[in-house]
Amino acid sequence: MNTGETSLQNEKFIKMTTAPIGPLITGLAIPSAIIMLISALYNMVDTFFVSFLGTSATAAVGVAFPLMAVIQAVGFFFGHGSGNYIARELGAQNFENASKMAATGFFSAFIAGVLLAVFGILFLDPLVRLLGATDTILPFARNYIRFILMGAPFMMCSLMQNNLLRYQGSSFYGMIGMVGGALINIALDPLFIFVFHWGTGGAGFATMISQFISSCLLFWASGKNDNVRIRFKYFSPSLANYREMVRGGLPSLARQGIASIAGICMNNLAGAFGDEVIAAITIVQRVFMMAASLIAGIGQGFQPVCGFNYGAKLFTRVKQGFRFSLITMTIPLIPLCIFGFIFAPQIITLFRPDDPLLIEIGTKAFRYQCYTIPLLGWITINSMMMQTMGKAFEASLLAIARQGLFMLPLLFLLTPLFGVNGILVSQPAADLGTFILSIPLSIRVFRVMQ
């Protein structure tokens, strides 16, 4: 670590531990929110363009969701695991340790992506069946998922690098890489699907290219200004480093891993009622990803502030940041949910205007979700705070609660009793359960910061 890099990182330490909380988090949150919103937008646009190919093709995107969750789980594990540690080390001004963790997280993510791609392509058809594809969805899902697997190493590296930059308070550079790739994906989708007539395979190919470009842009950004540079000479795959990654990254791995399992179960249960159910759930998930992304973007602006100040033992600033972020997350959700509840049929019709059954199912699912989405701010900010502090048990418990402790049992309990409605109500009921669970966990964490 040279003198110039150390000086810049000292300046960042001073900024993160002394600047006014509100403007500091806002400045960090805006690029993160843009990243998350653009990423959610391109997922929604992906579904929108594919929906022109038919209901089964739309459902194929939903079948791929659990696989995407696995890729995100691993990418977030290395990104959050190394990023949380790096934020605390930078707060404690241990710059060399931060550099070693950055390199270890990056190269580990790439290796994991290659392994997933190889095994996934070798066993493609059994994998697609496992994910919930019916006979009519199978050909569309196979073409789409093949390219998703090819892009897995770059997707994992993009997620890892974006989080690494974010935890250092460099969300702007992460925004350049993630938004650049997302915009390319949006532009290539109609070209590959409708001009080249590659169908769902074209949508998957566009995603693969966009992830490669994002990864390259983010690698370039990691070498700019005061960011911790990724260098192979610092690659240190030691037990101690991976132990720290587990502390910071396990909640993300658990959250996304459980989301994958829940998605597989939901697809398989929904498939028994027809492709329309999977397609309707897919559309609703993609639209609500926009709201979830806004919340996550604000929370990501809070995390580096939390990490630096918790590492510096400035607990009052951590609490101030928590309150500011919670209010900022929750206020926009209420009018959005009212609007969504009223115009749910029109929103679903945008995707599949010629499928009345899909519109009916999608409208119900959309309105059910509107009831509990305002609770997501409280759930998210608590989970992010606990994860950044390295409180693995509390953060992991909250991370798996929504999809694991509540949604999975509810799916298997309510579906036999209420059929399709049981599937649709499982997610909002799980949100309510997670909200209730998070209250005593947050009280326990705040008592430590006295």
Closest CA to 214 of 151, 284, 277: 151
Q: How many CB atoms lie within 10 A of CB 119?
A: 12
Chain segment 51-109, per-residue pLDDT in tens: 999 999 999 999 999 999 899 989 989 988 888 788 777 767 777 778 888 889 899 99
- Exposed/middle/buried for residue 407 (C-beta within 10 Å: 0-12, 13-18, 19+): buried
Calpha distance 166→174 (Å, rounded): 7
Closest CA to 177 of 161, 190, 193: 161
In single-letter form, the type of residue at position 43 comes to N
Residue with tokens 């995603």: 207
One-character DSSP codes across 257-272? HHHHHHHHHHHHHHHT
Instruction: With 0.75 as the threshold, say if the pTM is over it.
Output: yes
pLDDT reported for residue 165: 84
Chain segment 96-144, per-residue pLDDT in tens: 778 888 889 899 999 999 999 999 999 999 999 999 999 999 999 999 9
Q: Which two tokens stand for residue 281?
A: 């759930």
- What is the residue extent of each domain of the chain? 3-448
pLDDT under 50: residue ranges of the chain:
1
